[in-house]
Structure 1
């Protein structure tokens, strides 16, 4: 596939103009321990705006001749781009939004690795340390604003949705914008772009000049979900677990639109966290919403959650069909409850410190054929642990669908095997089959080849 490319020298925009010689050397280092490959992959992704591709491996292969080099300057640094995607430029100049994203990538990669490398006694498996790392990355990116009242709505949903579903997500975003609420998404296309685009119109009508369109992503997924043009604050977290925690720590409520396995992973993470006894009284408005034709979809999701996690989990959200105004009103009311609760408990508006997150949701899960096959998918455990293990199963399928390393493993060794209690796995298989039939696994195009295989035999329960 031939792609138009551009060579350019780009100056910083928005953040990070000065690097130490050690940081520059790490970014240039092409060895396994260096940051060059990670930086190149993320930089290529943010310049892939508008491209009809959701496969990290394909993206890297199409732009195999792309290179990025740091050029030290007397007053800072510049980036030299070689064979960069042409859609990131207009009349030879890089789009300003993409230039901001490019240096956000540089900022977050450098900062996260600097903290991990220089903090004495840092334990990556310690819950408090993990949460503090997330806090510091977000603070360094200037996401948290002291004194600002709760107004950030996290919107989750699929990158591969129908035109009608996209328009509906935009209508919901418009109603949120009319009520002065800001938007945070996974930063990609589809249901991540729609609410942001709608909110820009709502904010314009209300003359909201500080509307926020925050995109939170991670290196493994950014190539499949390049930042959409509306994002004005981009943050790259080190991995999917820290990305998910960043959503629930900074957001004040969550709206879920129709999606595929990535959306299911997010739902299970959120409900699993909220099922912890210490979070029982913590207000966190959640709305599932879509068009009338999505009612069956959400009924299927609701039944899956009820079967796997019980009625306590389903009580944490409401389903609103085809009513953007009601969705926005529910979020606005939820923001007021969140504000009152945090004021009473003297918790920060900008970061949900009181939220208790079990370490099982924080430790990075690396999908391999062995780790996927050995997941504890049975109900002989606490509901939040059921949610945690199902979340990992969905995470592995996402990796096999769109992440370069996961795709490579599936190509070399076949689909990931998912085994366990049929009481859990039969509804899981029905849900995945529906996602495939509704084209929610990948962008429309070539026929979807499953990255997973359900093993229809009970496995021994490990206690």
Structure 2
């Protein structure tokens, strides 16, 4: 057996320790099929925590002989790992954070699917989908009732430059000094920076119960292993459930520099905030970055104005090179969130009042046909246009880094995006700016070939 691989048996700590015999039996029966393969891929990604690899395929190929088996014990469940990455262990013992996240993946992918999705979830209605997201988060113990609003979501790129990464740490430090918890997509880059900065600030403030919540989904976690600071990991079943989870548990959102994935998240949130039913609902949203990222932030701002209009631009603030001001602005915004929810008796731990249309909730499959059929027209209501622009960016993310998307591009060529010139010209300009600024990076320094074609 190669020196970089290891056999091991691990048992859980936390919520998976106490299970009924029926629950363990259901878990142990999952030894083949799509659910098992999904868990295997996520487990392999978690075991590669700390290893900078953006390509899911390269991980799967390097550990093609990796296997994971679920065994029933009298007291619960254990995992048998064969040919696992040795860097997940120290002196033969699995690193604690890796073990916690490994069993979080087991809980979310296997247990949640069997107990919630197949038996109780109603995914045919908007309220049913929201209820499903609530149950997923509650089952993961990610909802803490009674705590005043302090969960700040941070979005941004996984492969940013050193200046942008350090800036995100400075912002995280300022947030931590104000006792805020941090939620990110749980990967590297800007998903790690705010958490890292906040850990120091929380230590200074003697915060012993700080939360570093990571929300991901199987297609992303396979390409972006969680960073080791995450102390609560939740794997949602798809992009749309993950995005809804962010804005249901988050009290405010900060967006740092990134690429198409960050733009996708930004457009998703804007589309929801632009819905008429959400016009009065406070939701602090800040775009920020170092001075070197000013062009990026203004390009994103100009794109929003050109496609969604001035009303969309009023839903967020742009703050450049001022971490303390970002944190103060967020603190002020969260005070308004608390006041609003108290007046309406809405929960602090889950934003039930936020209206989310089904257009934002159902999974989008980025086939070539679906990408070409997106309605990118000027006469579309802004919140629905934002939904379709979000889908376009989601497809590009899939074509860049996700296994199924990469295979489709290899087989059928680039996606084609069609629409009105007033939409397609700023879209093409923004995407080209991402390429020019090297925000469309691929593994191993490979030169970027667009997986899309913009057609007016």
Q: How does the TM-score come out when normalised to structure 1?
A: 0.95
Please state how far the C-alpha of 1:26 moved relative to its aligned partner: 4.8
Residue number in structure 1 paired with 2:305: 306
Residue number in structure 1 paired with 2:30: 27
SS in 1 for 2:444: coil
Please state how far the C-alpha of 1:52 moved relative to its aligned partner: 2.0
Residue number in structure 1 paired with 2:254: 255
Determine the C-alpha separation between the residues in 2 that align with 1:451 and 1:36: 33
Taking structure 1 as reference, are residues 75 and 112 closer, same or farther at Cα in structure 2, changes over 3 Å only? closer
SS in 2 for 1:366: coil
Please state how far the C-alpha of 1:39 moved relative to its aligned partner: 0.6
Determine the C-alpha separation between the residues in 1 that align with 2:186 and 2:345: 31
Deviation per CA, 1:326-345: give whole Å up to 9, x if none. 00001111111000000001
Determine the C-alpha separation between the residues in 1 that align with 2:443 and 2:47: 22
SS in 2 for 1:208: coil
Please state how far the C-alpha of 1:90 moved relative to its aligned partner: 0.8
Please state how far the C-alpha of 1:444 moved relative to its aligned partner: 6.2
Determine the C-alpha separation between the residues in 2 that align with 1:406 and 1:125: 26
How do 1:286-297 and structure 2 match up within 5 A? 286-297=285-296
How do 1:359-370 and structure 2 match up within 5 A? 359-370=358-369
Taking structure 1 as reference, are residues 455 and 259 closer, same or farther at Cα in structure 2, changes over 3 Å only? closer
Please state how far the C-alpha of 1:441 moved relative to its aligned partner: 2.0
Number of residues paired by the alignment?
Answer: 451
SS in 2 for 1:129: helix
Determine the C-alpha separation between the residues in 1 that align with 2:54 and 2:421: 32
Structure 2 runs not aligned, ≥5 long = none
How do 1:443-454 and structure 2 match up within 5 A? 445-454=444-453
Deviation per CA, 1:42-101: give whole Å up to 9, x if none. 111111111121111222112111100012212112100011111111111100000000
SS in 2 for 1:78: strand
Determine the C-alpha separation between the residues in 2 that align with 1:426 and 1:318: 25
Runs of 4 or more above 6 Å deviation: none
Q: How does the TM-score come out when normalised to structure 2?
A: 0.96
Please state how far the C-alpha of 1:21 moved relative to its aligned partner: 5.5
Please state how far the C-alpha of 1:402 moved relative to its aligned partner: 1.1
Deviation per CA, 1:400-432: give whole Å up to 9, x if none. 111111111111111111121121111111111
Please state how far the C-alpha of 1:447 moved relative to its aligned partner: 2.7
SS in 2 for 1:207: coil
Residue number in structure 2 paired with 1:351: 350
Contact 1:160 1:190 in 2 (8 A): yes
Contact 2:55 2:443 in 1 (8 A): no
Determine the C-alpha separation between the residues in 1 that align with 2:454 and 2:285: 33
Determine the C-alpha separation between the residues in 2 that align with 1:448 and 1:359: 37
Determine the C-alpha separation between the residues in 1 that align with 2:287 and 2:150: 18
Contact 2:171 2:197 in 1 (8 A): yes
Please state how far the C-alpha of 1:443 moved relative to its aligned partner: 5.3
SS in 1 for 2:215: strand
SS in 1 for 2:183: strand
SS in 1 for 2:300: helix
Please state how far the C-alpha of 1:3 moved relative to its aligned partner: 7.9
SS in 1 for 2:80: strand
Kindly indicate whether residue 93 of structure 2 is the aligned counterpart of residue 115 of structure 1.
no
Residue number in structure 1 paired with 2:58: 58
Deviation per CA, 1:293-351: give whole Å up to 9, x if none. 11111110000001111111110000000000000001111111000000001000000
Contact 1:372 1:393 in 2 (8 A): yes
